[in-house]
Amino acid sequence: MVRKSVMARPSSLFLIFFLHLVLVSSSTTSTETRSEHSRNHVALFIFGDSFFDAGNNNYINTTTLDQANFWPYGETYFKFPTGRFSDGRLISDFIAEYAKLPLISPFLQPGYNQYYHGVNFASAGAGALVETFKGAVIDLKTQLKYHKKVQTWLRSKLGKVEAEITLSKAVYLFSVGTNDYMSIFVTNSTVLNSYSKSEYVGIVIGNLTTIDIYKRGGRKFGFINLLPFGCAPGIRIIKAENNGSCLEEASSLVKLHNKALSRLLRKLEKQLKGFKYSLYNFDINLRRRMNHPSKYGFKEGKGACCGSGQFRGVFSCGGKRLGKEFQLCENPNEYVFWDSYHLTQRVYEQLADQMWNGARKPNSVWPYNLRDLFQAF
């Protein structure tokens, strides 16, 4: 009787939780196998941009500007280029490790279709807006559509109820927004002639929707806010008259966006029953490393390991984008920036560690750290 009424109302989180208890306490072997995946693993679904892309862009029709599947990308850890924009692993790879999950594969990887542990939808260059680097990336809306396919797959493998449990226990990790602002500066877009900065931020934030996932049962969301990309080597050199300093216009957009993001998440927590989030302050914690590299074990906080020109800010790492010539540092571990826009594995590991374990403070990770999301709820 209880089971029947539960099955009829699968969208009620309380009842699902109750059903879960029923399943966990029942000990028949068939229940054991069916619910094994959803009970023992918290799946990880990854969305967003190049900070998390583990190789989806290897499989789309784009340009090398949005790809990193050539040497020396990957040289430190994988020893071959995977498509990750780093010398090694990304934040999302470390989070999977801390959660005792295997490396989470790109959704588009041919032949890959085992989604019990989650999957990675992130695409370098993607923003919250479909217009951002349109045609060259998998935009967030498409990433969310792909997630819908995974929901269908899980239902076919686990049954509707088990699939719901898997989706509600899963963690959804997002890095998105940087490209919506970055694109303005690297394409000379005139969008800021039509909108004020705060209007544009409102449009970006308005499209950073998690509601589709919430409706599919998702409850646990991890975000990183925007890094100070106005100080990335590639942006420092964008205006010669700036003489290598950070681009103020970019920094003010980052500030507005990050405020609006924390406001949005607080609002969602109030409005959506059961919605839990972890917001990592990528901005402050990266700035600390850029400004005081030696305090964190680095030698260079401003210039990149791989690239050309001043600060190695020309996006030429690997010699397949803007020019064939580039310089490569000897030891990426000494650098904060790996290429003109992205970070080294060493930084990603430090940041991931803080996201997982960090003190629950707005300057660190707030209101929960990722370990809480994986283990406490």
Residues within the interface to ligand NAG (CB under 6 A) = 61, 129-131, 187-188, 203, 206-207, 243
Query: Could you tell me if 168 and 16 are in contact, meaning their C-beta atoms sit under 8 angstroms apart?
Result: yes
Q: How far is the CB of 203 from ligand NAG (least distance, A)?
A: 5
Q: Which of 258, 129, 235, 112 lies closest to 182, judged by CA?
A: 235
Nearer to ligand NAG, 59 or 116 (CB): 59
Region of 118 on the Ramachandran plot (φ > 0 left; ψ -120 to 50 alpha; else beta): left
- Residues in Cβ contact with 372 at an 8 Å cutoff, skipping those fewer than 6 apart: 278, 360
Please pick, among 20, 41, 117, 342, the residue that the annotation labels catalytic: 342
Q: How far is the CB of 132 from ligand NAG (least distance, A)?
A: 9
Q: How far is the CB of 300 from ligand NAG (least distance, A)?
A: 16
Nearer to ligand NAG, 131 or 212 (CB): 131
Q: Which of 121, 86, 56 lies closest to 340, judged by CA?
A: 86
Nearer to ligand NAG, 206 or 362 (CB): 206
Please pick, among 50, 86, 308, 316, the residue that the annotation labels catalytic: 50
Can 342 be counted among the known catalytic residues? yes
Query: Can you name the residues that pair with 364 across neighbouring β-strands?
Result: none
Nearer to ligand NAG, 210 or 369 (CB): 210
**Tokens found for residue 153:** 């797959």
- Residues in Cβ contact with 128 at an 8 Å cutoff, skipping those fewer than 6 apart: 140, 176, 177, 180, 204, 205, 207, 208
Closest-approach residue to ligand NAG (CB): 206
Please pick, among 66, 139, 180, 339, the residue that the annotation labels catalytic: 339
Nearer to ligand NAG, 13 or 60 (CB): 60
Q: How far is the CB of 98 from ligand NAG (least distance, A)?
A: 33
Strands (E), the chain: 44-48, 118-120, 171-175, 220-224, 276-280, 300-304, 306-307, 327-328, 335-337, 365-367
Query: Could you tell me if 179 and 126 are in contact, meaning their C-beta atoms sit under 8 angstroms apart?
Result: yes
Q: How far is the CB of 135 from ligand NAG (least distance, A)?
A: 6
Nearer to ligand NAG, 27 or 194 (CB): 194
Q: How far is the CB of 54 from ligand NAG (least distance, A)?
A: 22
Nearer to ligand NAG, 126 or 129 (CB): 129
- Residues in Cβ contact with 315 at an 8 Å cutoff, skipping those fewer than 6 apart: 65, 234, 307, 321, 322, 339, 340, 341
Q: Which of 75, 69, 172, 62 lies closest to 120, judged by CA?
A: 172
Parallel, antiparallel or unpaired: strands 276-280 and 365-367: antiparallel
Other beta carbons within 10 angstroms of residue 244's beta carbon come to 14
Q: How far is the CB of 153 from ligand NAG (least distance, A)?
A: 26
Q: Which of 103, 91, 49, 48 lies closest to 350, judged by CA?
A: 91
Can 20 be counted among the known catalytic residues? no
Instruction: Supply the Cα-derived Rg of the chain in whole angstroms.
Output: 21
Parallel, antiparallel or unpaired: strands 171-175 and 44-48: parallel
Can 50 be counted among the known catalytic residues? yes
> What are the catalytic residues?
50, 339, 342
